[in-house]
Chains A and B, each alone.
Chain A
């Protein structure tokens, strides 16, 4: 069974600080996704990581993928209050002609002024 584990599950950080969210997955992944969800809202796609060593950045967020370690990270630089949300990673696994997409439990980020 494919498992995706995120940590931490809850993160409270001060504005201006840096932090990293970790996403470990148990089997070979074809793609790794990061999503953002605001309370009571839908999901917003942040990054799609396709290959080992992939790094993508958007504003204060940077995502990376290490397929050998089965690890993706989401790094937050100089956090601002607007980044407060829940962040999900998801791993895509292909096999037997179809795909299995498994989500982590999410990291609830609170950025405190």
Chain B
């Protein structure tokens, strides 16, 4: 079962930053936080992952709290194409590829 808690849905204005929170209070020291998103009728798409430090790539930034019990995915300038379900996932184990998806957050970007 998923070990993360996310809001069911969020809205964001186009061009503004979208901040998606995730709680993972039972995370272990060697578990990574992953974010994937799923646009309607497509397979999930990897966004970013991190262990302890904040991470940034061309798609998003990931901010992980010092105690690692929560994190925030930031889309700096949301567009209509960012409308999707966003999944926060704690990677199970250090040598297995298993991803356990929860319900995710449905982000609606509005014009």
Chain A partners chain B = no
Name A residues whose Cβ lies closer than 8 Å to a Cβ of B: none
Name B residues whose Cβ lies closer than 8 Å to a Cβ of A: none
